[in-house]
Structure 1
């Protein structure tokens, strides 16, 4: 229980549109370069997870998002860090790999195995997919 209280939270966004999930390929740090993840980052002091998610996706992808729902669970990232994932709705902008990533891909559920996920992200992605509709009837963007 102590680890949970002292662990630093890293938030990730599950952007899902037209039946596809956005994946981001890491360019840094070197030990993670070339592996795929759900984009996001660390909470800063005084931020809520939702505020951190909005800020991180603005910085990393150049988009504005609205957090929708926290995916139940959290996944250990290493000593002192845990991953929490939120579904998010894209409000404006086109995602671009601006910071810490060199490529983005929209992946259909049957394409999720086509990228080399970071080990801690794969179970989170599986949980996201279990909770999302198979394919929305219309685009999530207006």
Structure 2
């Protein structure tokens, strides 16, 4: 990767084999992102593997240990662009132990039904995460309910 900050995010679902619910987190900091929803995660430290960083970040931010599933494909080699300085790779994850709590940089967690696309898409997401949300909904292919046609 050429100088981009690598960020990892967890698409935490209720079940890796048949996901029906997605855990999302509302930012409390920094002020510019407070109140917006995101995939929990964070920066990959120097020398750290992305998957290891994601497990560490989910433990720090939510207090949970996870089992990682597949990476959500984005088509770009470095991951989903967040801005001109950073990109994010996202993995599906299932909670292996612990009860998720908003411990760091978040003030609320919410489980969303993946078949209620309007509920998922209707949240005020961090703008860079919104394309990832759409790709996630397409990847899990849960028939939509509550979507105006």
Normalising by the residue count of structure 1, what TM-score does the alignment of the two structures yield? 0.87
Residues 60-107 of structure 1: per-residue CA shift (max 9 Å, x gap): 000001211111122222231001111012101111000000000001
Q: Which residues of structure 2 form unaligned runs of 5+? A: 144-149
- Cα drift, residue 133 of structure 1: 5.3
Task: Summarize deviations over 1:83-136 as a string: whole Å, max 9, x none.
Answer: 11110121011110000000000011212034210111111111112222539x
Whether 2:10 is the aligned partner of 1:13: answer yes
1:75-114 to structure 2, matched below 5 A, reads 75-109=80-114, 110=116, 111-114=119-122
- Answer whether contact 2:41 2:57 (CA < 8 A) is retained: yes
The separation in 1 between residues aligned to 2:100 and 2:133, in whole angstroms, is 19
**Partner residue of 2:32?**
31
Aligned equivalents of 1:79, 1:27: Cα separation in 2: 23
Please list every run of 5 or more consecutive structure 1 residues that lacks an aligned counterpart in the other structure: 136-142
The Cα offsets for residues 10-60 of structure 1, whole Å up to 9 and x where unpaired, read as 000001116111110000000000000010000001111100000000000
Number of residues paired by the alignment? Answer: 132
CA RMSD of aligned residues (A): 1.5
